[in-house]
């Protein structure tokens, strides 16, 4: 699970340039008017099933141009957006970064506010371990939270359609979800990051050294390289996630990376 910031702005403002962003924007526009509006309701309106809509959101299912043109008749699209969306279906115009981003389902800001406590994402990942039990007491014991917290968290995840109940257990509706949006932040994200850092502080004293890697590096840098550095950190996060999740999943871990200034800007920088 990748976390960052306000995705709503991406869908509420400006021109979108690819199918996934446009399709999610149309859903979020309806959800903004009615917070109880679900993916299932959106799918019914379009004559599709909820699973198909989720796969289209995440990029797991790549629609045909004929299918997209049919959706254009049911949803709002400007002539410019139509042109850019259809152009994005050319593999020649699709960068490796765009291909990577397509597999991630974006979480709307209003949804993120509801599930900003750290244990919601821990439960999402706990579902993947081999001995997962859909039992609130078991979940609570695994994450060291209360049973009511575990119950309410699962109920919220179900309402947000990030999980569903099948054959007496929970399954994720998408393996890759994110609220990452470059350069934006919000109070819910700040709360989540505080929780992540608090868990890291606890781990300093409570977790054995062989089960953690808490290190840091202090360096004098060229600030003009920060935008590219942030891209490299994002790439590293996702590569590390792919590496660690491959195989027999037995436990949930957090990976937190911090890069921030500890010295003040000099006067010359402030006048630039």
pLDDT at 178 > cutoff 80: no
At residue 76, the 3 state secondary structure works out as coil
- pTM for this prediction: 0.60
What does the DSSP assignment read for 115-175?
T-SHHHHHHHHHTTSTT----HHHHHHHHT--HHHHHHHHHHHHHTTSEEEETTEEEES-S
Cα–Cα distance between 148 and 136 in angstroms, integer?
Answer: 8
What's the whole-number mean pLDDT along residues 37-49?
A: 88
Asked whether the beta carbons of 255 and 240 are under 8 A apart, the reply is: yes
Q: How confident is the model at residue 6 (pLDDT cuts 50, 70, 90)?
A: very low
- On the 0-12 / 13-18 / 19+ scale of CB atoms within 10 A, 40 is middle
Q: How confident is the model at residue 14 (pLDDT cuts 50, 70, 90)?
A: low
* Helix H or strand E encompassing 65: helix 65-74
User: Residue 14 region, left (φ>0) first, then alpha (ψ -120 to 50), else beta?
Assistant: left
pLDDT at 25 > cutoff 50: yes
Cα–Cα distance between 110 and 11 in angstroms, integer?
Answer: 13
What's the whole-number mean pLDDT along residues 128-157?
A: 95
What's the whole-number mean pLDDT along residues 194-212?
A: 93
At residue 248, the 3 state secondary structure works out as coil
Q: How confident is the model at residue 82 (pLDDT cuts 50, 70, 90)?
A: confident
Task: Return the domain boundaries, the chain.
Answer: 8-94
Fold (CATH) for 8-94: 434 Repressor (Amino-terminal Domain) (1.10.260)
């Amino acid at each position: 699970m990748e976390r960052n910031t306000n995705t709503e702005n991406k869908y509420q403002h400006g021109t979108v340039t690819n199918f996934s962003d446009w399709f999610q924007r149309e859903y979020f526009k309806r959800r903004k008017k009615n917070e109880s509006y679900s993916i299932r309701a959106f799918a019914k309106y379009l004559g599709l099933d909820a699973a198909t809509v989720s796969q289209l959101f995440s990029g797991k299912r790549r629609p045909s141009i004929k299918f997209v043109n049919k959706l254009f008749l049911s949803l709002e699209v400007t002539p410019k957006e139509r042109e850019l969306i259809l152009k994005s279906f050319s593999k020649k115009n699709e960068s490796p970064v765009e291909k990577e981003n397509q597999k991630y389902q974006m979480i709307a800001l209003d949804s993120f506010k509801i599930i900003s406590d750290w244990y919601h994402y821990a439960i999402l990942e706990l579902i993947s371990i081999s001995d997962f039990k859909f039992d609130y007491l078991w979940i609570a014991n695994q994450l060291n939270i209360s049973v009511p917290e575990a119950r309410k968290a699962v109920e919220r995840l179900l309402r947000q359609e990030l999980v569903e109940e099948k054959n007496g257990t929970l399954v994720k509706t998408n393996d890759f979800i994110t609220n990452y949006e470059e350069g934006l932040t919000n109070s819910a994200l700040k709360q989540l990051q505080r929780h992540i850092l608090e868990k890291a502080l606890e781990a300093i004293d409570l977790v054995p050294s062989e089960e953690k890697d808490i290190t840091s590096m202090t360096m004098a840098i060229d600030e003009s390289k920060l935008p590219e550095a942030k891209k490299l950190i994002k790439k590293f996060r996702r590569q590390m996630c792919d590496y660690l999740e491959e195989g027999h999943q037995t436990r949930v871990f957090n990976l937190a990376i911090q890069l921030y200034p500890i010295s003040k800007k000099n006067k010359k920088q402030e006048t630039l």
